[in-house]
Amino acid sequence: MQDLKAIANRIRRRDLQAVFEAGAGHIGGEMSAIDILTALYFHVLDVDPTAPKKPDRDRFVLSKGHTANALYVTLAEAGFIPKEEVATFLKPYSRLNGHPNCTKVPGVETNTGPLGHGLPVAVGMAKAAQMSGASWRTFVLTGDGEMQEGSNWEAAMAAAHFKLDNLTLIIDHNRLQQGARLADTNNLAPIAPRFAAFGWAVDEIDGNDMDAIVAALAPEARFAGRPKCVVAHTNKGQGISFMRDRVEWHHKVPNREQYEQAMKELEAAAR
């Protein structure tokens, strides 16, 4: 667990630097999701950076595609792309665009950007594995604001109907979306009983607690004949005091003083 926490801290620091240097990004939701991404790529997923398209790999879909930079930094840390390439984020002709592109970036399974697309695609992936008798698993990470999209609930019904126990949905429940709190727009909370009513197995965890994440995503935490939903209670801007739980940091970029303060806080947490 200490190794995973150290990796997550490195990813946070590199993500912060890349957003600051690019002058754009979605840093708040990236910070909330980085612990989950770290657990997936360094403990849970059966993937190989030297063979990113191997047929029996696990699949991961970042449905909240606007947090692509966190995925790029994670992929670089895991060896899918060169670490130095992160410095090209959002620059002209870079393949590291504001939303992930599966035709350009190794390790990206499908293009995401418009919200509400990732879970339906992941259901299709899981159904394909079920039909072919394959053992690989599919994981998808959505935002909680994104769960207002109706396409997600159609996909949730289909996943339960087809008994896709090879599918795990993780909801980054940081309670904030662009411009407002979830409670002030279309409040879905509590989310867990909604998925239980759709026939899913559901866990609720602290999504910034590495032990809890690893336990919830372990193979033994699966339920035969039922897809799995992990409602991960997180904090937007996790790890940075002045960003934490602040709606304006959905896509705000730190100035030099804020960047230096944030980096000091993350470096102190690493010690």
Whether the per-residue pLDDT at 12 is higher than 90: the answer is: yes
* Ordered DSSP codes for 217-252: HSGGG-BTTB-EEEEEE--TTTT-TTTTT-GGGGT-
Cβ within 8 Å of residue 121, ≥6 positions away: 61, 110, 112, 140
CATH classification of the domain holding 230? 3.40.50.970
In the structure, what pLDDT confidence band is assigned to residue 129 with cuts at 50, 70 and 90? very high
The mean per-residue pLDDT over the stretch 208-220 comes to: 97
Range of the domain at 36: 2-270
Q: Over the chain, what is the mean pLDDT?
A: 97
Say which residue, 179 or 229, is predicted with more confidence. Answer: 229
In the structure, what pLDDT confidence band is assigned to residue 79 with cuts at 50, 70 and 90? very high
What is the share, in percent, of the chain residues with pLDDT greater than 70? 100
| Tokens 């990470």 -> residue | 141
What total of structural domains would you count in the chain? 1
Whether the per-residue pLDDT at 1 is higher than 90: the answer is: no
Q: What is the pLDDT of residue 54?
A: 97
pTM of structure? 0.97
CA–CA gap between residue 48 and residue 54 (Å, rounded): 8
CA–CA gap between residue 82 and residue 253 (Å, rounded): 24
**From start to end of 22-120, where are the E strands?**
59-62
In contact, 222 and 159? CB cutoff 8 Å:
no
The mean per-residue pLDDT over the stretch 21-46 comes to: 98
Count of other CB atoms within 10 angstroms of residue 224: 7
For residue 171, list its beta bridge partners: 142, 231
In the structure, what pLDDT confidence band is assigned to residue 260 with cuts at 50, 70 and 90? very high
pLDDT digits (tens, 9 = 90+) for 135-168: 999 999 999 999 999 999 999 999 999 999 999 9
CA–CA gap between residue 7 and residue 81 (Å, rounded): 16
The mean per-residue pLDDT over the stretch 225-252 comes to: 97
CA-CA distances (angstroms) from residue 31 to 10, 49, 73?
12, 23, 12
Name the phi and psi angles at 139, rounded to 5. -125, 145
For residue 55, list its beta bridge partners: none
